[in-house]
Amino acid sequence: MSFSDRRVVVTGLGALTPIGKTVPEFWAAMMAGQSGAAPITHFDASDYPTTFACEIKDFDPTETLDRKEARRLDPFAQFAIVAADEALADAGLDTAGFSEEDKARTGVIMGSGIGGMKLFQDQVVEYAAHGPRRLSPFFVPMMIIDMAPGLISMRHGLHGPNYATVSACATSNNAIGDAWMVIKAGLADTMIAGGTDASITEVGLGGFGNMKALSTRNDSPETASRPFDAGRDGFVMGEGAGALVLEDYDHARARGARIYAEVTGVGMSADAHHISAPHPEGLGARLAMKQALQTAGLQPEDVDYLNMHGTSTPLGDVAETKAIKAVFGEHAYDMNLSSTKSMTGHLLGAAGAVEAVASVLAITEGRIPPTINFETPDPACDLNYTFNEPQDREVTVALSNAFGFGGHNTCVVFKKVEDEA
């Protein structure tokens, strides 16, 4: 079977987010237009220009992990394991009963934009106070980004392709795209793909804040993430993880799996422009979306919904809007668009995976998640961003964009499986 003959479908979803710790909770909160933003509780942020973020509420890693293991792991790794567990269970895959062939044909690609930031920060503080002998022997192995997929493979005994992607906030889409290619190349039948990040720490907040990237709407955190609104002033930090089980179509049908949607195309590009600012005309974003449509064998007018990167930054929202107009022409005004970051905040390396979950559910549920907090129109952002309320719409094709510092651009195409009973 050639590369192009294998079809790749989504059979499992997992999400750990600031507005829901499971996929059903996450979807219900989006449909209700809930914001996950609130004053920071992880540490005292009173001296920072921004004092709020989208934290995961009431997260207890010992509900999933052994207490000793949880204590050793950075939150980014804890999040990844929880999301992957949910996705596997949702796919009806009991890895405890896997044959050796099943284990060899199942892999994990789980990325992170930053990795173990809290662990790194805490160990530097320990070193400064007490010297090198007090550094934990688990410091290096538990900080590095590839530990997220590594730990998932160890937990479930999976021997298939296993590695991490790192492309800042495009990370998750790169993981999904890589998993798609791995299955199409015949290197695996099933892949867990997604992303995770846990960067709401003292240095994380300080670093992004000093870049002037964050909203400072401290008097109203819940309305601070307002993509495409004229009053937007920066993104809101979030944390969490998302995971999708991708599977060869024939493999999924043979075991009677429920199929959510098909992954039919991916696009990847670089702005080659600036370390943090997007290309002002969205040239890299255009290329990624065009590639995604080409690999999917689709025309622009085939697309019903596009989950935008939409970070609520003055430059980014305009650049992405320009890119969409350039790719879709007049059809750009006929599609539904939205930024679910208006509710979750920006989950950095986990953003693409969580937004892929939202895109897949838009197909299966026939509802478009809203972009909340819209008040004042911006003439440069004049498309249908599904402001403030979800919208019922049949979705056959959905695209999901994710862009990252360094000029990384990614786009994934999801399509309804028409021949699925």
Using CA atoms, how far apart are residues 2 and 103, in angstroms rounded to an integer?
23
Residue among 54, 156, 169, 279 flagged as catalytic: 169
Q: Which two tokens stand for residue 349?
A: 């390396």
Token pair, residue 339, equals 């930024």
User: Among candidates 11, 17, 8, 6, which has minimal Cα distance to 238?
Assistant: 17
Structure tokens at 258: 């429920």
Q: For residue 238, what is the DSSP state?
A: B
Q: Measuring CA to CA, which residue among 350, 343, 21, 45 is closest to residue 198?
A: 350
Structure tokens, 231: 């009053």
Closest CA to 37 of 365, 372, 379, 393: 372
Alpha-helical (H) ranges within 244-350 are 249-254, 283-296, 314-328, 341-344
Provide the CA 114 distance to its chain's centre, in angstroms: 13
Q: Catalytic residue among 309, 381, 408, 411, which?
A: 309
Dihedral, 179, 184, 188, 191 alpha carbons, nearest 10: 30
> Cα 124–48–210 angle (5° rounding)?
75
- Residue 50 and residue 234: Cα distance in Å, rounded? 11
Which residue is catalytic, options 156, 251, 279, 346?
A: 346
Q: How many residues does the chain have?
A: 421
Tokens of 286: 């255009």
Active site annotation includes 169? yes
Question: What is the number of other CB atoms lying within 10 angstroms of the CB of residue 333?
Answer: 13
413 in Cβ contact with 262 (< 8 Å):
no
Q: Within 13 A of 167's CA, how many CA atoms are on the CB side?
A: 24
From CA 102, how far away is CA 248, in angstroms rounded?
A: 13
* Integer CA distances (angstroms), 218 to 39, 40, 111, in order: 8, 11, 31
- CA 169/CA 213 separation, integer angstroms: 14
Q: Which residues are catalytic?
A: 169, 309, 346
